[in-house]
Amino acid sequence: MRYFPLFLLICVCCTLQTNAQSTKFGLQDFYTYNSELEYTVDSIYHTLSERQQVAQMIISSAGELGKPMATVKNLTEKDAIGGVVFLKGSKKTHTESIQALNAISSKNKTLPLLFSMDAEPSLFSSRIKGAKDVGKTIDIKTEAQSDAVVNTINTELREIGVHHNYAPVLDISASNEAIKSRSYGSDKDEVISLANQFIKCTQEGGIIATAKHFPGHGLVKGDTHKQSVYIDGPLQEVDNYKTIIADGVLSIMIAHITIQNNEKYGTDGLPSSCSRKIITGLLKEEMGFKGIIISDALNIMKAVTILDNAPLLASKAGCDLILMPQNEEKTINAIIAAMKKDPNYKKQVVQSVKKILRLKVCSGVI
């Protein structure tokens, strides 16, 4: 376990306190150059060992359907994860779990974790049992209705201690097996408008929003939880993300969708979450996305578990956050080994880690 040098901790804390008194960092600062923010991120980065830096990329799971809390606590003790997604449970159990994990980070003087949840409207009441039922995404038809839903979700997430919401869905079909009522519908313009409003309201409320599932999970047949799923031909849903990116969404989730019969964007049998052509080439370089890129879950979804070392492939493709790898410590070791062999990949990992630290600072995690 490596501890922060005291003088650097003092410098970082003084920087944060100064900002709290003047221009406190918020989510709105993530995309804006700020010399104090740059200094804060770099200061934190240089207190971390290489292993701790890479661990920032790893998001484990907890709660019902996730890993046992004893396992997650052990990973936190080892400083082997950067965050946790809570899959299902009561408000009380979620809150107590987050408090317990924060206590470990505090005791060990290590970086606090980034806590996240799939709190889409359609999934919200199942993620937090006993929470107010906000209805299904498909039933949201106006911006005012969307804002009311988001305000309810944001309030619950803040009270529990969750920073990052894996919502909204930009997929434009409500008939897909995996998406169903999680979609805003089949009218492209309506989907973009309502999703964008969801994102704006979420982030104005201090919660990180996530647009998903890039490059599009609506107009396909099948469910990536159960099998490989294909976009056959042109990418019909990619344009949905242009307005969302321009208006400042902070994170985008990549689907385990394989693309075939597309000369430019074919993924050669790999899911998009493991394709450098899709993540780095299309999303980062062509579409100019500078925010956090997160893979879809890597632990049980059949479209990706059939691959050898999918978490490393996802990182090499350009994902910043590796969601729910089957083995967190094995993933860290694989990334570090690959960094030693490839200087360009090492630079990419450094960029990913600094983006994650920046997000943690701007969201008030650290």
Q: Is the pTM of this model over 0.85?
A: yes
Confidence of residue 217 (pLDDT cuts 50, 70, 90): confident
CA distance 130 to 126: 8
Q: What is the mean pLDDT of the chain?
A: 90
Residue 206's contacts (CB-CB under 8 Å, 6 or more residues apart) are: 26, 27, 154, 158, 363, 364
* H-helix or E-strand spanning residue 21: helix 6-21
Reply yes or no on whether the pLDDT at 201 is more than 70: yes
Residue 225 annotated among the catalytic residues of the structure: yes
Question: In this structure, is residue 93 part of a structural domain?
Answer: yes
200: containing domain: 59-345
Question: In this structure, is residue 329 part of a structural domain?
Answer: yes
SS (H, E, C) 176-239: CCCCHHHCCCCCHHHHHHHHHHHHHHHHHCCCECEEEEECCCCCCCCCCCCCCEEEECCCCCCC
CATH of the domain at 327: 3.20.20.300
Residue 296 annotated among the catalytic residues of the structure: yes
pLDDT tens by residue, 79-96:
999 999 999 999 999 999
Residue 93's contacts (CB-CB under 8 Å, 6 or more residues apart) are: 63
Question: In this structure, is residue 323 part of a structural domain?
Answer: yes
Catalytic residue among 29, 139, 223, 225: 225
Per-residue pLDDT, averaged over 158-170, amounts to 97
Question: In this structure, is residue 88 part of a structural domain?
Answer: yes
Question: In this structure, is residue 202 part of a structural domain?
Answer: yes
Structurally, how many domains does the chain consist of?
1
The mean-pLDDT minimum among 36-40, 56-60, 187-191, 219-223 falls in 219-223
CA distance 31 to 245: 11
pLDDT tens by residue, 306-327:
777 899 999 999 999 999 999 9
Per-residue pLDDT, averaged over 142-162, amounts to 97
Distances (CA, A) of 268 to 120, 149, 192, 213: 31, 40, 29, 19
Reply yes or no on whether the pLDDT at 64 is more than 60: yes
Question: In this structure, is residue 17 part of a structural domain?
Answer: no
Place of tokens 């694989």: 334
Question: In this structure, is residue 103 part of a structural domain?
Answer: yes
Which neighbouring-strand residues pair with 232? 260
Question: In this structure, is residue 36 part of a structural domain?
Answer: no
Calculate the CA 353 to chain-centre distance: 13
Catalytic residue among 118, 147, 296, 320: 296
